[in-house]
Amino acid sequence: MGVEIGSKLEGKVTGITKFGAFVELPGNVTGLVHISEIADVYVKDIHQFLKIGDIVTVKVLSVKEGKIGLSIKKAQEKERQPRQPRERTEGFEDKLNRFLKESEDRLSSLKKSGDKKGRGR
């Protein structure tokens, strides 16, 4: 399996620096997981998340001039489900007619209660 952008691979952490972690991938190629791609939270010290020898799943973000950019956090994201279109149960015209009818009913009940109060005086 080659190293292609978008592919998810397992690799072994072989080195840790203050800016990221080096991961050895299948085929004896090494890529870098930048510190911002380690976790979904702010990472101040990589050692709190990784240690040399850890086996991690990474997603290939870029391959440029022999340098491979990797992400642990993007490898953990679940595939997004396509959005389902909502079913139209009531059209605009129907909603407008319902609103007008409810408004007329409320107004007539307010008028009736107002007339009863006015007659009692």
Q: Assess if residue 98 is contained within a domain.
A: no
At residue 12 the predicted structure's pLDDT band, cuts being 50, 70 and 90, is very high
The pTM of the full predicted model, rounded to 2 decimals, is: 0.62
Residue 22 lies in a domain: yes
CATH of residue 21: 2.40.50.140
- pLDDT class of 45 with cuts at 50, 70, 90: very high
Q: Let me know if residue 57 belongs to a domain.
A: yes
Owning domain of residue 35? 5-75
In a domain, 56, yes or no: yes
Q: In this structure, is residue 89 part of a structural domain?
A: no
Q: Report the number of distinct structural domains present in the chain.
A: 1
What is the spatial distance between Cα 82 and Cα 33, in angstroms, rounded to a whole number?
28
- How far is the C-alpha of 58 from the C-alpha of 70, rounded, in Å? 6
The whole-number pLDDT of residue 70 equals 96
Instruction: Tell whether 82 is covered by a domain.
Output: no
Query: Is residue 30 domain-resident?
Result: yes
pLDDT cut 90: percent of the chain above it: 60
